[in-house]
Copies of this chain bind each other. A is one copy, B any other.
Amino acid sequence: MKAVVYQGPFTVSVAEVPDPTIEAPTDAIVRITTTNICGSDLHMYEGRTTVEKGKILGHENMGTVEEVGGAVNRVRVGDRVSVPFNVACGTCRNCVEGWTGFCLRTNPTEGMDGAAYGYAGMGPYDGGQAEFLRVPYADFQLLELPAGTEHENDFTMLSDIFPTGWHGTELAGMRSGDRVVVFGAGPVGLLAAHSAMIRGASQVFVVDNKPDRLALAEKIGATPVDFGRADPVEQILDATGGRGADSGVEAVGYQAHDASGEEHPELVLDNLVDSVRTTGGIGVVGVYVPQDPGAADDLAKEGRIGWRYGQFFTKGQRMGTGQCPVMRYNRRLRDLIVAGRATPSFLVSHELPLEAAPDGYEHFDKRDDGWTKVLLHPGS
């Protein structure tokens, strides 16, 4: 089959590789209809991870079930399904408690709980930017979708970024009626804002400095805050009578930049502490890493971030973090899409055939204007 393969820094190619096969009786093979390029794929693309050459990329996958193993009896051949990005066994303590993002069994890497498709350090699983994908524990993992092709570009957000944005609001302890601030108007931040609106926020601020992204935020009913124009904390305090937002979401991660483009890993956390009110909650879905050898300062190299923790304590704030356990939310989010109450496809800027993946990576990596979210349709 054809697949998008990592070839080295800034190079992916569409190569002919062997078709995946059923390796365990609990496996299924999914024929991919849509698979997205994720912002986190770019870490690998840019050569800043240890991912091996030849790896098939892609963890945002959906399609139809092509074949099932002998122990699969809930999912059936022909079913249209979404594949959660976390590879999870469904039987360990974390999975049983709903923490599929921290499965204790699927990632053989020492000291790491949780696995993913096509990702550095997240286990030996091929990605789905390909014609077919092998899915372990298929009865547990696959989310059934209505047959046909309707809502394809909405449903494709169910494998990762829509649940991840939603998780941000959940980790923040957001309640209906809250004023919510979201830092970062990338795909995850925008879907966190969309989630907050759906859950009944009274107002959602979205902080970024890219005009096209801020325009999308406005389009979904949020209030854009351009940090290039003025201190975002002051803008939010002004808009809330000096009180601050009730809860906040971090959707930027450790490579945060200030308006001048300089990297400041503590910047967004500081801003959240200052723009969220006392006793408020903060949900962090932007990625921070245990080691960052390429970081500018020595602390950050060890994964240490010197943010304003004393102020965080003094304000009695709370913080939840970590990768999203997709299965905790994807059924409900699917139902919201079917009902027409969620439309995460508003993000989609480009739909390409699989063969055009190298082009898609290049433009998306450069953050070329208007390249918000790229979908690949193998076989199209």
Contacts and interface: CB of A to CB of B under 8 A. Distances in A.
Interface of A: 24-26, 69-71, 74, 89-94, 96-99, 101-102, 105, 112-114, 139-140, 171, 175-179, 198-203, 254, 266, 269, 278-279, 284, 287-292, 299, 302-323, 327, 329, 331-333, 335-336, 338-339, 341
Given A90-B91, A139-B91, A279-B99, A202 B335 contact: yes
Contacts of A304: 266, 306-310
A327 B279 contact: no
Nearest to A304: B306
Contact of A316 (B102, B302, B306, B327): B102
Contacts of A313: 284, 287-289, 321-322
Contacts of A311: 290, 303
A88 to B, nearest CB: 11
Nearest to A332: B177
A123 B26 CA distance: 24
Contacts of A199: 176, 199-200
30 contacts: A24-B71, A26-B26, A26-B71, A70-B70, A71-B71, A74-B105, A91-B139, A94-B278, A94-B279, A96-B327, A97-B279, A102-B278, A102-B315, A171-B318, A176-B336, A177-B331, A200-B341, A202-B332, A203-B339, A254-B310, A266-B304, A287-B313, A288-B314, A289-B313, A290-B310, A292-B310, A304-B308, A305-B306, A305-B307, A306-B306
A288 B310 contact: yes
A314 B322 contact: yes
Copies in the complex: 4
A92 B70 contact: no
Contacts of A319: 318-319
Nearest to A25: B71
A84 to B, nearest CB: 11
B25 A70 contact: yes
A57 B307 CA distance: 32
A140 B316 CA distance: 22
Nearest to A24: B71
Contacts of A74: 89, 91-92, 105
A322 B332 contact: no
Most buried by B among A96, A113, A201, A309: A309
Nearest to A315: B322
A73 to B, nearest CB: 8
A306 B315 contact: no
A318 B319 CA distance: 6
A336 B200 contact: yes
A306 B323 CA distance: 22
Contacts of A97: 98, 279
